[in-house]
Structure 1
């Protein structure tokens, strides 16, 4: 297994390619361009993906806090010791199924109160030391921006770049979770936590923070919204928004989650409740109570229709309770397909809204019940050296499932761990003036401004394997005033002086999952994104842009460079026909993908390449054609005959491309240039060291010592 540099740094040194002149042989098809006699490479060395050690185009690597910066250190209880597979033993927090049965809060959720108390105390210290400085800087910046305001431009207040300076960071700002100093304890079990502004949650090496299995913890309000269901009425689907996230934070400055430990949401494990009346679904599709009776403090009689997606209340059922992934599969794959309204009310691992400087660093994330990390409206979002592996080995060791954890009897795979996106960064829905969150029940004294944009985003040196999107830019919300003409995500907006690009995805290793994506929501627009030096190994998708005319919009100036893709189901997937989601009331939103560039992309193994624009007059609407406008330079397959190409409504400019692209009137393709077999993949990009085993991180490593040996 390849050993990575300790600093987890790599580089895009923009090394040009070895000068060669190769005679061309047409690869078939293709028209609309003149034949070429040679492919020319720029003098220099072929770029080697996944091996460099420094990137001058990125900001400095984050660092862990110093010992002196720690507000509080919490030791794990010796009652919680992770098994070698990464799970907790059944006796650590026992399951109890059935009607009128509750688990003990002391074992189901022993650590939430003390972790939150430490975070709150640390947040208060941070606010007392630097809160006034932050407020003063924001007031001055806001006043200057108002004085110089242009129409339709959001007021951002003080920039994240300014707030990154030392004077805005408190001397003590971290809460550290550590192994027990006198015993084997290395686990914490917690319910939802609020991350205060300026505070770092530091999960130390060897420590795992587990999510409680108590559904009530994620839905504390008696009258809803209710968590752990697939429907909340006979006609209304469930939603992750019904649940509190495991870690949440709004209106933050200089907050972080980091360390060499793990967070495991345990979506593979049976859901329980500390309230005997809280309704849960069981794998035989019955339920333990109804929300109507629960809100009234009563137990519904057997045979009463469920209102959580199940059938009827059954006190005699001996079936186990659902797991979070049972609910996800049931809601998305079964009920949604038959009724159109099914969806899971599962909690997300992390949700952050409106922040300036938010960092995830070196932490390992496993087994989220829904999306892992959902940050919206962040100026200065850094995800660096993070590992996401879902499902992990702990999921396969789930005692309740006996090796077949889903209620269907299936073993976990990439198709049935639904909606476990790793990272879904996006803009927020509007500009905001609000108080900073200084604790779970406290706010700052003064409001500050957030413009709602996603800006200065770095996604670098990460290892990701999950059941859905590995990373997806969500262009669904636009905080810009109407008529501004601004796109929601723009990599050229307010780029900081310590980096070259405002939106970067670089030096990552992607395994299972849907690859690096834009969409599916593109209605508010995404532009100016740099994606370089990434590898995709046995992923479902590699490079992807997806939308449809229920949520379409402009996607432009997306640049891919120095990419290695091996044994992917869909190496390249660009489609405006992502789903048949119902159209909005005001009519269709047409996807428009243009000015997309690929340089030095190598595809190894059998795969599908789908390149589609949006056809004119689609769905009975009088819309123009929105072709996929893409330039492809040195995009090659080691074996072009192993590439299945699906293409329509595309306007492609190609050079040094050996994919079997064909321009015909039937599929409305225009190809400027001619495919060639003469290009040598080894002189396009070096993939010899791009594909490495998922890093050995103990129990989180899916199959133990290597990634490849048992795939």
Structure 2
């Protein structure tokens, strides 16, 4: 298509001094006044992305505990040593017993439990009393859009609600080379910090039995639990989980590696596992009776048939994800994977992730729901990392398709999926794997609020940060949103939901949705860079899980070599409607893009929801968006698709045109000839992933010296 633009004199100029000149027939400052000419003030320099180190709009940065605040310190075994690739040495866990496959879970959990009990004994009663007093003072006639349940996270952050000792610290061996731990699922207690020290890596056990919470099913590590029901991550315990928490954290300069590209094994030889030839080792039906099915019996875990003599290796977690999502779901519509997640937290006040590195989750990395006071600060997520392709067998650890792991084959490895919970909850604090506080119950309203993602580095195979408005804890018709950045904003910050000062590499970018049925509003996204991401700024939904997404503000963003720099669509999938007569209409409006600088060829999609879509009578829900100073270095290499959109353009050089046929209405217009001299400054936006020399499959580059 021929790229045509009109020229827009004066209207596209954004600098105040230039606008003043445009308003006069004579550009001379002395023409109408007769005064001596004065030199106009120089325009302000464009904002420089990637150099901000302090931000008054954010709460104070998290801090590591002091030595005096440590409940207990655990040293790594000298038999567990991380290799330069980041992988665990191949001899470390070759075996069939839990003692070899999962040597550290019991001692880490015991330390967490003991610390949790001590914390509760010291401050549990005070937390309960403060919460009860706050709850008693709250009424149904509270200020609109304020839905605090009990004491707020900000109130409970005070020192008197924190124990004098609250951290369990994992450290390298003091007597040898040991610098790693292998563990199964851990329960993080309320008030406890898991401190993974610099130089330490916590590896997930490969033993499937550690993640299987129910011996009677449904089961973990499959792509289906019946001929009609797909697999689900809820069939597996997460590596680190916690519910009903106050002032809990995972921090440190160390790392957690879920080893999703490693072969799944079992300490129970009857437990069904799939092999890369699609046969299975047993059936769930036989396993539930303590029996071994005979060769030729049809599998009931998504495989083909039982083969008791096959020599093919077992699948990896990412093999299951690829098989379930890309093959079985594509042919039967019921495929998915039962893979464990790295971290799942439900109902918390003050939950912090700080300084740690997360690698190679089998499914989503971090899923926090119903948290007041969520802080994710200086966290690094890189999946797949170099360790994912380091194989004990020396063959590059190919998946069952014969490929080493890539961002394309590490399916459903979202970095952060924050959301609200389904309902308010009054519950005693969890102070260990089997212990509940006796001090009293705490109120949680179920909303996600006071969330900060700052100074992070993220590269993954799916969504990088994906706020999900899937649940609204309030009754239907309350008018509240599942995620609302203006709800109960703490006084130590300017905004209630912020994504800032973050570098994003591979992945699907900052991606709101696809679950938006409970609504998402008032999110601030600023001073972020995207380098090579599949998508960068994205809002996605469909009429099976749609809702209102509004007041999302993107500002000072650098995007380089992205497949789709901008993607806003209500047609995310063709997922079947839960009720064919009651669609959940996706409605995106009052979205702003300001100071967006796009480098390299890319595409952009701006779509609203067309009237009468799918043969169901309904009004149009056009995308409502304002674009200000949105500039591409090579606008002729940007392909734009628009439909059902009302767009306001100011200083935009993307090929966006009005269209009667596609129902696109513009206020203002774009121009290919606009200068990028005043575009946001990206000269320091693109840096190598920290520690990339020993963790990235692609190796270190000179991108940081642009």
What TM-score results when the alignment is normalised by the length of structure 2? 0.93
Tell me how far apart the structure 2 counterparts of residues 278 and 330 of structure 1 sit (CA, whole Å). 19
275, 282, 286: which one aligns with 1:289: 282
Q: Deviations over 1:169-211 (max 9, x none)?
A: 0000000000000000001000000000000000000000000
User: Are the equivalent residues in 2 in contact too, given 1:463–1:510 (CA < 8 A)?
Assistant: yes
Aligned to 1:133: 126
Tell me how far apart the structure 2 counterparts of residues 408 and 30 of structure 1 sit (CA, whole Å). 51
Question: Following superposition of structure 1 onto structure 2, how do residues 35-50 of structure 1 map, counting pairs within 5 Å?
Answer: 36-42=10-16, 43-50=43-50
User: Are the equivalent residues in 2 in contact too, given 1:553–1:592 (CA < 8 A)?
Assistant: yes
Query: What's the CA shift for 1:235?
Result: 1.1
User: Are the equivalent residues in 1 in contact too, given 2:147–2:488 (CA < 8 A)?
Assistant: no
Aligned to 1:226: 219
* Runs of 4+ that moved beyond 6 A: 150-153
Query: What's the CA shift for 1:221?
Result: 2.5
Tell me how far apart the structure 2 counterparts of residues 401 and 576 of structure 1 sit (CA, whole Å). 45
Query: What's the CA shift for 1:44?
Result: 1.9
For the residue of structure 2 that corresponds to 1:619, the secondary structure is: helix
Tell me how far apart the structure 1 counterparts of residues 697 and 356 of structure 2 sit (CA, whole Å). 16
Q: Deviations over 1:510-553 (max 9, x none)?
A: 00000001101000000000000000000000100000111000
Aligned to 2:633: 638
Change (3 A) 1:46 1:151: closer
Change (3 A) 1:278 1:401: farther
Aligned to 1:413: 406
For the residue of structure 1 that corresponds to 2:660, the secondary structure is: coil
Mean CA deviation greater in 123-132 or 404-413: 404-413
Structure 2: 5+ residue stretches without partners: 17-42
Aligned to 2:470: 476
Tell me how far apart the structure 2 counterparts of residues 180 and 194 of structure 1 sit (CA, whole Å). 24
Change (3 A) 1:627 1:148: closer
Aligned to 1:87: 87
User: Are the equivalent residues in 2 in contact too, given 1:152–1:482 (CA < 8 A)?
Assistant: no
For the residue of structure 2 that corresponds to 1:410, the secondary structure is: coil
Answering whether residue 69 of structure 2 is matched by residue 69 of structure 1, we say yes
Aligned to 1:10: none
114, 120, 123: which one aligns with 2:116: 123
Mean CA deviation greater in 301-310 or 200-209: 301-310
Tell me how far apart the structure 1 counterparts of residues 192 and 371 of structure 2 sit (CA, whole Å). 16
Pairs aligned (count): 675
Aligned to 2:348: 355
For the residue of structure 1 that corresponds to 2:431, the secondary structure is: strand
Query: What's the CA shift for 1:662?
Result: 1.2
Query: What's the CA shift for 1:147?
Result: 7.4
Answering whether residue 517 of structure 2 is matched by residue 538 of structure 1, we say no
Q: Deviations over 1:7-44 (max 9, x none)?
A: xxxxxxxxxxxxxxxxxxx973589xx87555122542
Query: What's the CA shift for 1:382?
Result: 0.3
User: Are the equivalent residues in 2 in contact too, given 1:270–1:400 (CA < 8 A)?
Assistant: no
Aligned to 2:31: none
Aligned to 1:12: none
User: Are the equivalent residues in 2 in contact too, given 1:694–1:707 (CA < 8 A)?
Assistant: no
For the residue of structure 2 that corresponds to 1:119, the secondary structure is: helix
User: Are the equivalent residues in 2 in contact too, given 1:394–1:700 (CA < 8 A)?
Assistant: yes
Change (3 A) 1:404 1:29: farther
Q: Deviations over 1:117-159 (max 9, x none)?
A: 0000000010000000000000100111147558997551100
Query: What's the CA shift for 1:480?
Result: 1.1
Aligned to 1:23: none
Q: Which has the larger radius of gyration?
A: 2
Answering whether residue 22 of structure 2 is matched by residue 28 of structure 1, we say no
Q: Deviations over 1:254-290 (max 9, x none)?
A: 0000100000000000000001111111111111111
Tell me how far apart the structure 1 counterparts of residues 694 and 168 of structure 2 sit (CA, whole Å). 24
Change (3 A) 1:311 1:400: farther
Aligned to 2:541: 547
155, 162, 165: which one aligns with 1:169: 162
Mean CA deviation greater in 34-43 or 459-468: 34-43
Query: What's the CA shift for 1:225?
Result: 2.7
Aligned to 2:601: 606
User: Are the equivalent residues in 2 in contact too, given 1:73–1:178 (CA < 8 A)?
Assistant: yes
Q: Deviations over 1:403-442 (max 9, x none)?
A: 2521001232222110000000000000111111011001
Q: Deviations over 1:592-628 (max 9, x none)?
A: 0000001100100000011111111100011111111
Tell me how far apart the structure 2 counterparts of residues 554 and 403 of structure 1 sit (CA, whole Å). 45
User: Are the equivalent residues in 2 in contact too, given 1:631–1:652 (CA < 8 A)?
Assistant: yes
**Higher relative contact order structure (alpha carbons within 8 Å, sequence separation ≥ 6):** 1
Answering whether residue 221 of structure 2 is matched by residue 245 of structure 1, we say no
Change (3 A) 1:651 1:149: closer
Question: Following superposition of structure 1 onto structure 2, how do residues 264-303 of structure 1 map, counting pairs within 5 Å?
Answer: 264-303=257-296
Answering whether residue 652 of structure 2 is matched by residue 657 of structure 1, we say yes
Structure 1: 5+ residue stretches without partners: 1-25, 96-102
Q: Deviations over 1:34-66 (max 9, x none)?
A: 875551225422100001221000000000000
Query: What's the CA shift for 1:399?
Result: 3.2
Q: Deviations over 1:209-266 (max 9, x none)?
A: 0000001110043202310000001111000000000000000000000100000000
User: Are the equivalent residues in 1 in contact too, given 2:357–2:379 (CA < 8 A)?
Assistant: yes
Tell me how far apart the structure 2 counterparts of residues 30 and 286 of structure 1 sit (CA, whole Å). 62
Query: What's the CA shift for 1:293?
Result: 1.1
Aligned to 2:23: none
449, 455, 474: which one aligns with 2:449: 455
Query: What's the CA shift for 1:483?
Result: 1.8
User: Are the equivalent residues in 1 in contact too, given 2:261–2:397 (CA < 8 A)?
Assistant: no
Answering whether residue 478 of structure 2 is matched by residue 496 of structure 1, we say no
Change (3 A) 1:597 1:30: farther
Answering whether residue 571 of structure 2 is matched by residue 597 of structure 1, we say no
Tell me how far apart the structure 1 counterparts of residues 490 and 144 of structure 2 sit (CA, whole Å). 23
Answering whether residue 107 of structure 2 is matched by residue 114 of structure 1, we say yes
For the residue of structure 1 that corresponds to 2:138, the secondary structure is: helix
Aligned to 1:621: 616
Answering whether residue 560 of structure 2 is matched by residue 560 of structure 1, we say no
